[in-house]
Structure 1
Amino acid sequence: MELRQLEAFAAVMSVGSVTGAARLLSRSQPAITRLVQELEAEIGYALFTRNGPRVTPTEQGFLLYEEAERVLAGLRRIHERAVEIARGEAQPLLLATTSALAVGLLPQALKRVEAQTGATPVQLRTASPEQVVHAVLTGAVQLGASSLPLEHRGLQVHWIAQLACVAVLPQHDPLAAFEKVPLAALAQRRLITMSNPFRLRHRLDAVLAGAGRAPGQHGALIETNSSINAQALVRAGLGVAVLEPLTAHGAPLAGVVVRPIDTDIPFFFGVITPQSRPLTAPVRALADALLEAAAALPGFVQHDVADHATLLQSAHADDATTSPGAMPRKRP
């Protein structure tokens, strides 16, 4: 398997045609076709079904593309870093965060760091919590920020924080008149909610069931993997949402209002780095700045990283009326 074959394959996947891939790579169409066919012959299965000049990826093609794109991105990064070293340039900060933390905390944190040290090159990828953890464990990034759980072996957890979830409502919704929205009222409405059942969604389902919501009640749920998507759906009048507060703080959306809820639904999150990699001064400064940005938000509580398991046990409790103990730490 040669890199030229992977490059040709990835280009065809991205553009959707051999002709377009040839233009993208400044090669002839027969050369691209040959490279893809050689790759297919080597791996033993078809990557595309062909219909004239157009091609359609097979299921195996989609699966292989995920790995090929990751390898090619790594090679591009090696090339860029080699050029930076030749020029004597500093290494960029390589970061991976969930979208909520990227919009809710990272801009303020980077601003704090750059006010102290000057402009720093940054490469940021937003991803699911599982992908953030994977990027940190593999060393693809120097720092990750994500929701709990973060107990994977090989991770260094620097801090854990807690904020209360909020209700996101259409601007003229009757519930917007409440200073704190009753959870029981939210339980009677069509909900726009997160699709991942192993994180915040688990706790949300438990507290809503405790507030009297039956499975399948009031029409089908709208599930999404993005809080920003949820806010847009709320604005369109398709339902109400219970979300972590970071997205609403960092990316407020016209046409919706954000209100506290009369029941505490905790959202836990933290910052992680690879245990196997020495912590550089810029990475440490950013981890501290992210904590400072989180601490400026209403209702912030910091937990000791040793309490990780206890926090998860409390968050996943079936008792919808019980919220986990605060256990705040005094910050120096």
Structure 2
Amino acid sequence: MRLRHIEVFHAIMQVGTISGAAQVLHISQPAVTKVLQHAELQLGMPLFERVRGKLYPKPEAHRLFIETEKLNRDLQSIRRLAASLKGRAVETVRLVATPTIAISVLPAAMKAWRRDFAQTRCELGTHHTSEIVNALRLGEADLAVSLQDPRHPGIVAEPIAQGFLTAVAPAGTWTAAQCAQPFGPRNLQGELIGMAGDDPLGELVLAACEAQDVQPVFHTVVQTYQIARSLVEAGAGVAVLDPFTAASAVAGKVQCRSWAPAISVQLYLLTASHAPLSHGARALANTIGAAARACLERGAA
């Protein structure tokens, strides 16, 4: 089958009629009929049953539709790219971030970046770090940001901002004097919100507790820092969070104290070692770093 055959066949399968396919493809009904007949002639078999002017796909048509679905999506992508080039779009920047950074840092970064790159297309996705590595290696993303250095030979990890683990409690939990003091393992009492066992920062907190022979009881265990912060904001307990999530909490709803012993948390820019960044992507990376540092400064104010 030729590409035109597949395009017409796919349109008929989607809308169910010759007239509908003609409207979708912006061509005449006789043209659709002619292309379909030619495709069936080349295949040596009919793809549809004609009953009283209606088309009913045969089993072979359904099987063929499944196999041509990916090709049709690729054709649509090519059309979008061609339209983008015609419209003189400079580039597309594909950014992936962990959910924590996507919520706490990226909104401000994207707003600032858009001032200079208003016409550049940006595709933003969220993944965990292991999935980010695969996306970068497979060329499905141009750059990524994460709180973890994956230490992968094909990935370059560049620190762009640094903070420290922070204890967060509902407003009114601590006195002003207590807020000025570090928060350590022996302070982990009452209603505690912990992270799932495979969380790297959560493991550091538990290691610090074990070093002081403290065994905290977490009554609530969550998968993401954002959920933990939302619970704290609602007055549901105390949590130890990354500094970016803690700094972006709703003002007036939480109190923050530095964790002791101090545990550094880096924000990393991740890129594939074989793929240098474009001008727009590098500018976005710089803006993300600036937004992350500004987030930490607001949290410390």
Normalising by structure 2, what TM-score? 0.67
Partner of 2:221: 222
Q: Which runs of 5+ in 1 are unaligned?
A: 1-24, 43-67, 300-332
Asked if the contact 1:143/1:272 (under 8 Å) is kept, the reply is yes
CA distance in 2, matches of 1:228, 1:33: 50
| SS state at 1:149 partner | coil
Farther-moved stretch of structure 1 (284-293 vs 186-195): 186-195
Would the alpha carbon gap of residues 269 and 280 (structure 1) be closer, same or farther in structure 2, given more than 3 Å must change?
same
Matches within 5 A, 1:130-209: 130-174=130-174, 177-195=178-196, 197=198, 199-209=200-210
Would the alpha carbon gap of residues 182 and 31 (structure 1) be closer, same or farther in structure 2, given more than 3 Å must change?
farther
Question: Which one of 247, 250, 259 corresponds to residue 249 of structure 1?
Answer: 247
CA distance in 1, matches of 2:144, 2:60: 37
Q: What code does the residue aligned with 1:101 have?
A: I
| SS state at 2:226 partner | helix
Would the alpha carbon gap of residues 82 and 103 (structure 1) be closer, same or farther in structure 2, given more than 3 Å must change?
same
| SS state at 1:139 partner | coil
Shift of 1:96: 0.3
Q: What code does the residue aligned with 2:210 have?
A: A
Would the alpha carbon gap of residues 72 and 110 (structure 1) be closer, same or farther in structure 2, given more than 3 Å must change?
farther
Q: What code does the residue aligned with 1:295 have?
A: R
Asked if the contact 1:143/1:271 (under 8 Å) is kept, the reply is yes
Asked if the contact 1:147/1:199 (under 8 Å) is kept, the reply is no
Q: What code does the residue aligned with 2:204 have?
A: R
Partner of 2:232: 234
Whether 1:94 and 2:94 are equivalent positions in the alignment is: yes
Would the alpha carbon gap of residues 154 and 201 (structure 1) be closer, same or farther in structure 2, given more than 3 Å must change?
same
Partner of 2:103: 103
Partner of 1:84: 84
Shift of 1:37: 8.4
Q: Which runs of 5+ in 2 are unaligned?
A: 1-13, 18-54
| SS state at 2:275 partner | coil
Q: What code does the residue aligned with 1:249 have?
A: A
Q: What code does the residue aligned with 1:167 have?
A: A
Asked if the contact 1:99/1:126 (under 8 Å) is kept, the reply is yes
Would the alpha carbon gap of residues 236 and 277 (structure 1) be closer, same or farther in structure 2, given more than 3 Å must change?
same
Query: What is the alpha-carbon root mean square deviation over aligned residues?
Result: 3.8
Bigger Cα Rg: 2
Whether 1:259 and 2:257 are equivalent positions in the alignment is: yes
CA distance in 1, matches of 2:219, 2:287: 40
| SS state at 2:115 partner | helix
Would the alpha carbon gap of residues 179 and 155 (structure 1) be closer, same or farther in structure 2, given more than 3 Å must change?
same
Count of aligned pairs between the two proteins: 246
Q: What code does the residue aligned with 1:240 have?
A: V
Partner of 2:36: none
Q: What code does the residue aligned with 2:108 have?
A: Q
CA distance in 2, matches of 1:212, 1:36: 68
- Give the share of equivalent positions with the same residue, in percent: 25
Shift of 1:162: 2.5
Shift of 1:89: 2.0
Shift of 1:121: 2.4
Question: Which one of 249, 263, 272 corresponds to residue 274 of structure 1?
Answer: 272
Farther-moved stretch of structure 1 (268-277 vs 179-188): 179-188
CA distance in 2, matches of 1:114, 1:266: 31
Asked if the contact 2:179/2:255 (under 8 Å) is kept, the reply is no
Asked if the contact 1:167/1:242 (under 8 Å) is kept, the reply is yes
Asked if the contact 2:158/2:269 (under 8 Å) is kept, the reply is yes
Whether 1:284 and 2:282 are equivalent positions in the alignment is: yes
1:15-48: CA deviation from partner (whole Å, max 9, x where unpaired) = xxxxxxxxxx6559x9899699859x99xxxxxx
Asked if the contact 1:171/1:255 (under 8 Å) is kept, the reply is yes
Would the alpha carbon gap of residues 221 and 258 (structure 1) be closer, same or farther in structure 2, given more than 3 Å must change?
same
Asked if the contact 2:171/2:253 (under 8 Å) is kept, the reply is yes
